Chains A and B, each alone.
Chain A
Amino acid sequence: NAGVTQTPKFQVLKTGQSMTLQCAQDMNHEYMSWYRQDPGMGLRLIHYSVGAGITDQGEVPNGYNVSRSTTEDFPLRLLSAAPSQTSVYFCASGPRTSGTGELFFGEGSRLTVL
């Protein structure tokens, strides 16, 4: 099993550009989520999903969109990138729809917005 796969690992954008961070898992997990990690602020939840066709907002959803058309994939879209979105993004999945239990993280995607 590959676990949770994120692409790309690094990306540089200009302000106003859009892009999609891809996340795929092969563990048949119902729960998937996106976090951003900034120095001193821990991991902050952007969006999450408890199953295909179901998404919900986390703590910091503004400027991001998600969709969940399949159990395996959970892409994160930046609509119009801003310097404040410079961060490391982690996708995580878990076996429980409640979100409890172990979360399995991807390797992270480092995004820089100029």
Chain B
Amino acid sequence: GENVEQHPSTLSVQEGDSAVIKCTYSDSASNYFPWYKQELGKRPQLIIDIRSNVGEKKDQRIAVTLNKTAKHFSLHITETQPEDSAVYFCAAYNAGNMLTFGGGTRLMVKP
């Protein structure tokens, strides 16, 4: 089955700095890669996603890049703000109808 590794597990940045979270996946047939944000005590919510036919996607301060050859994808957050503090999860979807999540990254943005 699919295996998704996510790094780092914790990340602390100063407000205004950029943050990068990286994920690798094992199944070359995976074709959809979403990112979810989970604030403390809340439910996960989709923030951005990318499909395997696209190399990069941006939405305001967040962007995701995908390298299919190397089987890794990354989340980039620019100009971080305190409200970006949360746990971020990457995930990979394969043709077996299963969405596999990474272990999560706790992002702390210090004012």
Contact = CB atoms under 8 A, between A and B. Distances in A.
Say whether chain A's binding surface is mostly helix, strand, loop, or mixed. loop
B100 A45 contact: yes
A40 interface: yes
Interface in B56-111: 89, 91, 93, 97-104
B97 A98 contact: yes
A95 interface: no
A108 B41 CA distance: 9
Nearest to B103: A42
Contacts of B104: 40, 42
Interface residues of B, number: 26
B6 A105 contact: no
Interface centre among B9, B34, B42, B98, by most chain A C-beta atoms within 10 angstroms, is B98
A43 B97 contact: no
B12 interface: no
Interface of A: 33, 35, 40-45, 48, 50, 56, 58-59, 90, 97-103, 105-108
Interface of B: 1, 4, 6, 9, 31-32, 34, 36, 42-46, 49, 51, 89, 91, 93, 97-104
